[in-house]
């Protein structure tokens, strides 16, 4: 299958986790891929090397999504390299678990600026480029099961994921006339760097696993297929939607 044949795909937070897995799957599905990343040059280069080994073009650009200039630069450099943007995956996010009552302002504000403001800057920059190009496009944002349910140590995080979900709904309305589809995925508990420390607690990990009908925590690769589907022409009449990818955790009350 080449669900993204000839497409030019941009992904934020693309050097590891869900973003990295999606970058590789997009390349397997025939796309050229540009990734934004913040920390590890080595990890980003590994993704680039793997994409090029699949015979596709790859580009890795560092930048903090919380800075509006990063969005403009990322899109502009990808357009210079690939000639345009067809798919944009807004994935970059953080979740520094912390209690509510003594939540430091800087922790709360950083989480909002990365997860919600960063998504807004990036989606807006990608949408403007897609409108300029004409021909439509697809935007997929990584929201979360946490848009729908809470977390004691995530009071700064869950509102940002609810915001990302809502951003896609409103962007779908604003961009429909341009043939640009906007959807979100809602991952459950997926083992990545974002929660490695949190799930290092055996009791917490067991408690999270016990809630999942499919019997295991998610892996980044579990998100790649749903994201590629929403990005592809198979979802040509899907916009403003959200897709839970959680092994059944959300519905499992008892």
Single out the residue of 69, 68, 79 nearest to residue 9, CA to CA: 79
Closest approach, Cβ 68 to ligand RM4, in A, equals 25
Residue reference for tokens 């959200």: 242
Residue 15 interacts with ligand RM4 (CB under 6 A)?
no
Q: What is the CA radius of gyration of the chain?
A: 17
Closest approach, Cβ 132 to ligand RM4, in A, equals 33
Residue 194 interacts with ligand RM4 (CB under 6 A)?
yes
Q: Which is nearer to ligand RM4, 207 or 236 (CB)?
A: 207
237 is catalytic: no
Q: Which is nearer to ligand RM4, 72 or 117 (CB)?
A: 117
Residue 12 interacts with ligand RM4 (CB under 6 A)?
no
Residue 151 interacts with ligand RM4 (CB under 6 A)?
yes
Task: Pull the structure tokens for residue 112.
Answer: 């909002």
Residue 144 interacts with ligand RM4 (CB under 6 A)?
yes
In angstroms, the Cα distances linking 47 to 8, 99, 253 are 16, 35, 38
Single out the residue of 203, 248, 202 nearest to residue 222, CA to CA: 248
Which range in 33-41, 61-69, 105-113, 191-199 contacts ligand RM4 by CB under 6 A? 191-199
Find the Cα–Cα–Cα–Cα dihedral 221, 230, 35, 193, rounded to 10°. -40
161 is catalytic: yes
Largest CA distance in the chain: 52
How far is Cα 96 from Cα 48, in angstroms, rounded to an integer? 28
Closest approach, Cβ 144 to ligand RM4, in A, equals 3
How far is Cα 243 from Cα 247, in angstroms, rounded to an integer? 12
Q: Which is nearer to ligand RM4, 54 or 148 (CB)?
A: 148
204 is catalytic: no
Residue 95 interacts with ligand RM4 (CB under 6 A)?
yes
Which range in 38-46, 61-69, 70-78, 145-153 contacts ligand RM4 by CB under 6 A? 145-153
Angle between helix 118-133 and helix 68-82 axes, rounded to 10 deg = 40
Q: How distant is the alpha carbon of residue 235 from its chain centre?
A: 17
* Binding residues for ligand RM4 (CB under 6 A): 95, 144-146, 151, 161, 189, 194-195, 198
Active site (catalytic) residues:
144, 157, 161
């Amino acid at each position: 299958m080449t669900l993204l044949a000839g497409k030019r795909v941009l992904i934020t937070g693309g050097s590891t986790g869900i973003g990295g897995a999606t970058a590789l799957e997009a390349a397997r599905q025939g796309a050229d891929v540009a990734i934004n990343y913040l920390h590890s040059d080595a990890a980003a280069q590994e993704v680039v090397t793997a994409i090029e080994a699949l015979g596709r073009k790859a580009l890795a650009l560092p930048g903090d999504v919380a800075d509006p200039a990063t969005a403009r630069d990322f899109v502009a450099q990808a357009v210079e390299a690939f000639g345009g943007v067809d798919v944009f995956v807004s994935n970059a996010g953080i979740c520094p678990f912390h209690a509510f009552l003594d939540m430091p302002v800087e922790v709360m504000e950083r989480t909002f600026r990365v997860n919600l403001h960063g998504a807004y800057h990036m989606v807006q920059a990608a949408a403007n480029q897609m409108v300029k190009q004409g021909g439509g496009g697809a935007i997929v944002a990584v929201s979360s099961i946490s848009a729908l349910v809470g977390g004691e140590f995530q009071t700064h995080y869950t509102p940002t994921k609810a915001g990302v979900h809502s951003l896609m709904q409103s962007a779908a309305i604003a961009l429909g006339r341009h043939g640009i589809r906007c959807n979100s995925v809602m991952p459950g508990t997926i083992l990545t760097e974002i929660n490695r420390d949190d799930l290092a607690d055996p009791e917490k990990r067991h408690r999270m696993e016990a809630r999942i009908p499919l019997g295991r925590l998610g892996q980044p690769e579990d998100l790649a297929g749903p994201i590629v589907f929403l990005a592809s022409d198979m979802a040509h009449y899907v916009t403003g939607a959200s897709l839970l990818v959680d092994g059944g955790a959300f519905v499992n009350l008892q």
